[in-house]
Amino acid sequence: MTAALAKAERPAPRNRARARFMRHRGAVVSALVLTIIVAAAIGAPLVEGWLGHGPNDPDLGKRFLSPTWAFPLGTDEAGRDVLLRLMYGGRVSLLVGLAAALASAVIGTAIGIVAGYYGGRLDAFLMRLTDAVISLPSLALLIVLAAVDLKKIGVPDSIAYSDAVSLYRIIFIISLVGWTGVARLVRGATLSMRTREFVRAAVALGAPARRIMLVHILPNVLGPVIVATTLSVGGIILAESVLSYLGLGIQPPIASWGNMLSNAQEMLTQAPQLVIYPGLAIMLTVIAFNFLGDGLQDALDPRAGE
Amino acid sequence: MMRFVVVRAFESLVVLALMSFVVYALIGLMPGDPIDIMLAGDPNMTPEDRERLRQLFGLHLPIWERYGNWLVAAIGGDFGFSRTFNRPVLEVMAPNLGRTALLMMSSFVLSVAIAIPLGLAAAVRQRRLADYGINLFCFAGKSVPPFWLALMLILVFAVELNWFPAGGIETVGASGIVDRVRHLALPVACLTLLNLASVARLMRAEAIGALRQDYVRTARAKGLAERRVIWGHAMRNALNPVVTVIALEFGTLFSGALITETVFAYPGMGKMIYDAILGNDYNLALIGLLFATLLVLVGNLAADLGYAALDPRISYR
Amino acid sequence: MRLGRIALAAALLAAAPVKAETRDTLTIGLSTFPPSLHPLTGAELVRSYILAMVARPLMAFDPDWKLVCLLCTAVPTFANGLAREIDLGGGKKGVALTIAIQPGATWGDGTPVTAKDVIFTNRVNRHPLSGVVSGEFDRRVVKIEAKDDKTFVLHIDRITFDYNNLAGYRVLPAHLEEKAFAAPQDYAKRSTYETNPAERGLYFGPYRVAEIVAGAHVVLVPNETWFGKKPFFKRIVLRAFENTAALEANLLAGGVDFIPGEGGLTLDQVIALEARHPKRFRYLYKTTTSYSHLDVNLEHPALKDRRVRQALLLAADREAIARQIYAGKVSVAHSSVNPLQWMAAADIRRYEFDPAAAKRLLDEAGWSEMKGGVRHNAEGERLAFTLASVAGIKANELVMTVLAAQWRQVGVDARIRGQPARVFFGDTLQRRKFDGLAFFAWIVSPESVPRTIVHSSMIPAAANGWQGQNFTGYRNPEMDTLIDGIERELDREKRRALWHRYQEIYAQDLPALPMFFGTVGFVMPLWLEGVRPTGHSATSSIWVEEWKAK
């Protein structure tokens, strides 16, 4: 019975949400653009097959080439294919963006629901913690976190020295400070949910707290969480690029848009295109995520938008 | 009201204390120690030299003890010396703090001065070309990688057009306000562009909301000039939440300043903190980070108070 | 309309006149800023670069690689009688050096530079709490005495071939620093160099520091008490841009006149700049004793086999890298001894690019099974290792990328790992934690003995407190004997033979894979004359009074 009630509480029928989303032209175009970018990232090995060279194959005889059929966007300072590196770099940047956004959303939702549901001292403590994390100068803190020696906290050498460690590390540290927005949002929504009849009914019926939070509250706060998560992806991609730019993010030879930019900045006057391409890729992707989030907000949470 | 301020101030203090320990411990978790860095620069150093310097800097003590020592001294007003500069940290930080404050305040004022009319303009011309244009511009501002924007500004305005210097704080010897302003131009422009977007977007949303309110309709019905309706009524009411967001954005502004300073080789707080962290300069990194945190906390507090002052419906007890 | 006014204001600002071309000021662009100008508390290249203009070291190797006196009057030798053997008792022999300070040498506040200053400096260097980086030389001094105001005698506890080498030795002004040194543990903080770096009395060079803005710039003006040739420029401004894009943009925009090879742009950046602006500046390239190489961890199961090391070198096309990345401006190294050094031998083994020979050697060493493009041995182990280096040095990253690709061609799997400098030097190298190869470079003075690098007593380990720079773990009794012999041998020709054998062993054993001898690039305005790069660890700024504008 309670489940049926919960369903009835869902904000709006799906097709109305879709109609609202489709009205947001920026969001529709962005969804399209993102589809293309994701397809490019996924399809990178295919293109690699067609072109017949890899993203990390240096060729000193082919440095700084102009675009040709074999190198559609030319080559970089090591004679590597810029297009391929952008595509593979997109994989890394998107992966970081999505994974960290998802992780932040999970942490934030958990903290928000718990704080909102239990209230009282726990709530006060969790919200003060949230405030504290928000008030930290996040970039400076990220720099400290990125410089921590994994071996000093007992991570085995095999992991601390692996190629992918910079990837996991950056996802981890961004999630560590990125959850606050969602936590506040979810707490607010949970507070209002708690006063709803179907939740009070479930409590009166003696349903365990965990079940109430997972079955009754969580589905109803998912809309704003999705919006906030989508909106945060862009910010995270930017954060990754900034850390990589400062030399603390993704390490070469793995390409990410951030470290491609960082790599190219010394050649700013010599080969500006190497700076411009990854910058545009980041900007396009981030704009698209922001518009998408905006559109989703219109669709899922119409009151918040205006 | 008074009580609210006291409670918030106390909370901020707790945050600061926690932050100081977290940062202290984290810096301890960074690889190598300052002596190793010196060693890299000087092949003639012997192990005796190293051990001697470790003792001198107190690096042989466990981290708890070092933190305790630091805290006791800090409460007594002694924040210690910067290891790299051999000067008291406040003395090292002061000029940097001044320069960063100049950078942040200029771009803060500029971005508010531009963003509010921009947001209003978009709100008034809702769903027209100007609105879409402003919206797109804002999205672009929120989405551009900050250091990339800085590099582009250097490429276009310093290298290609040669209008502004590409970095530094002044032409040495050529004193004068014009010279200083010319050096500030690109960093401030960069930081302003980065911060403009969120304020303008919020202003737009709030102004749209305000324009729909009854009192605006009443004002219009009374035949007030549109100009006065917009500036007098809509803007004043939209301003409250905007002020809050602006103050909350101080943390972001600071992050932006860090990047801007790095690219434009502008010696300020952000760059100082970055170098101090990487250079294992405990005291300097710590105080720098704490000051940055303090800045954000004060900003937040000011926002709360400003909000209360602007909106009589809210009272803090 | 308001917007229009702002635009106008911006245009006016932009049109403000660029600084008029004045040839009596030289603005130098640097990529780092020294934390302090104290001569002893740090050894950063940029610190030495600036210090050289305001206070000379006692001696230096000049651009012709000759040891010359700068603050002193004559280099003591056994031949001129200023050096003599002394008996230290117990069969130990030492040397006594009589050194005279330039009669005209005077600190900027009018106080003469005297033997008292040298004795004070020695005290500071020896004190365990003074905070100086390196007290090694001063601890060898058993006695120091002043013969008169301007002359002192150093008693040193050993005789080596470079017994009289005091290159780079810097003297402190006792009259200003003695008070600060009263509490030695606080000396580094209370030194006048820190509390008032623009104090005239700290400097006796052709210039003195007039203004210092930390992180931004240093302004130098001629020092009124300078005893040598009068410098040409009325002002030297050193500006730091810790972002090479900003540094380069400033050079192009005229904010900086000159970027020296020491602590300015890296070689590849200078080459790229020359390609874009060949006529705007004068470019000067100077080969140096900087030796880049890949240290091998000789405990690595695959790399401890000499044949594998030789194969790696054969499979690396160093000539192509030098040609393509460095425009042919660096030379391929064959051992750690630079061809510019007098003891360089021409007839030692070279490893020209020969992938076929590399493959044969690897097969011979048992790495003959190809699986997935990588060699395996009979036990099924992969021929794989990491290639570590400091992250963020673009040219190095590029070289490593290319090396890894070339080794891939012969079935060797090398993974690149960039680390922050502090990790790489402090941990990876010093604690010998690299799992394969480590790429870095050092710059040496004209004849420095690689004792700390190849002597078996210099392998860093917990037992010896991680002493030494023999990161590879190289042990060879013959090498140890050679190093001891070279240090003690005073006869140059006999030493040459020992050096020859050293290079032979090095090239055969390959404790490190030699890469390149570096080159530094200077970017100079067309009107600047008189800058002479040295090619070794002494900076060109020591001879700043020779610089002038055309």
Determine contact: A78 vs chain C, CB below 8 A: yes
> B166 and C134 in contact by Cβ < 8 A?
no
CB of B301 within 8 A of CB of B131?
no
Q: In sequence order, which residues have a C-beta less than 8 Å from that of residue A302 and are 6 or more positions away?
A: A12, A20
B141 touches chain A (CB under 8 A): no
Q: Which residues of C touch A78 (CB under 8 A)?
A: 398, 401-402
**How high is the mean pLDDT of chain C?**
88
> What ipTM does this complex have?
0.76
How high is the mean pLDDT of chain B? 78
Determine the residue type at A118: Y
Give the pLDDT mean for C467-490: 90
Is the CB of residue C272 less than 8 Å away from at least one CB of chain A?
yes
Q: What is the rounded average pLDDT of the residues A126-149?
A: 77
Per-residue pLDDT band for B313 (boundaries 50, 70, 90) equals: low
pLDDT at position A5, please? Answer: 43
B154 closest CB neighbour out of C219, C249, C467: C249
**Residue A199 C-alpha, separation from nearest chain B C-alpha, in angstroms:** 30
More confident residue, A233 or C427: A233
Tell me if chain C has a CB within 8 Å of the CB of B44.
yes
Question: Chain A within 8 Å of C540 (Cβ-Cβ)?
Answer: no
| CB < 8 Å to C415, chain A | 163
Nearest residue, CB atoms, A242 vs list B32, B147, B292? B147
Mean pLDDT value across residues A266-275: 80
Indicate left, alpha or beta for C517 from its phi (over 0: left) and psi (-120 to 50: alpha): beta
The answer to whether C237 contacts B164, with C-beta atoms less than 8 Å apart, is no
C467 to chain B: which residues are within 8 Å by CB?
A: 46-47
* Record: contact B29-A136, CB cut-off 8 A: no
- Residue C486 scores a pLDDT above 80: yes
C51-56: average pLDDT? 94
| Residue in C249, C465, C466 nearest the CB of B159 | C249
Chain C: nearest CA to B130, how far in angstroms? 15
The pLDDT value recorded for residue C306 is: 93
> Sign of the C-alpha dihedral, residues C182, C185, C189, C193?
positive
- The secondary structure of C244-284 as a DSSP string is HHHHHHHHHHTS-SBB-SSSS--HHHHHHHHHH-TTTEEEE
What pLDDT was estimated at residue C174?
94
* Nearest CA among C333, C543, C534 for reference residue C445: C534
CB-CB contact of B114 with B192 (8 Å)? yes
B63 close contact with A: CB closer than 8 A: no
Q: How many Cβ pairs within 8 Å bridge chains B and C?
A: 186
B260 touches chain A (CB under 8 A): no
**pLDDT score, position C327:** 87
Question: Among A58, A163, A266, whose Cβ lies nearest the Cβ of C401?
Answer: A58
Convert the pLDDT of each residue in C133-153 to its tens digit: 777 788 889 999 999 999 999
- Give the mean pLDDT of chain A: 81
- The band of B311, judged by pLDDT with boundaries at 50, 70 and 90, is low
Answer whether B29 touches C (CB < 8 Å). Answer: no
pLDDT tens string C97-110: 999 999 999 999 99
| B152/A279 touch (CB, cutoff 8 Å), yes or no | yes
Question: Which chain B residues are closer than 8 Å to C214 by Cβ?
Answer: 85, 92, 95, 267
pLDDT at res. C4: 43
Q: Which residues of C188-204 are buried (b: 16+ CB within 10 A; e: fewer)?
A: bbbbbbbeebebbbbbb
3-state secondary structure of C11: helix
Whether residue C333 is predicted with pLDDT greater than 90 in this model: the reply is: yes
| Cα gap C55→A105, rounded to integer Å | 60
Q: What is the DSSP string of B259-297?
A: HHHHHTT--SHHHHHHHHHHTT-HHHHHHHHHHHHHHHH
pLDDT tens digits, B94-150 = 888 888 888 888 888 888 888 888 888 888 777 778 788 888 888 888 888 888 888
Rounded (5°) CA angle B38-B39-B42 = 90
Task: Mark yes or no for CB contact B292/A287 under 8 Å.
Answer: no
* Side-chain-facing half-sphere of B64: CA atoms under 13 Å: 0
A266 touches chain B (CB under 8 A): no
Asked if A60 is an interface residue toward chain C (Cβ–Cβ < 8 A), one would say yes
Q: What is the pLDDT of residue C294?
A: 95
Distance from CA of B4 to the nearest CA of C (A): 41
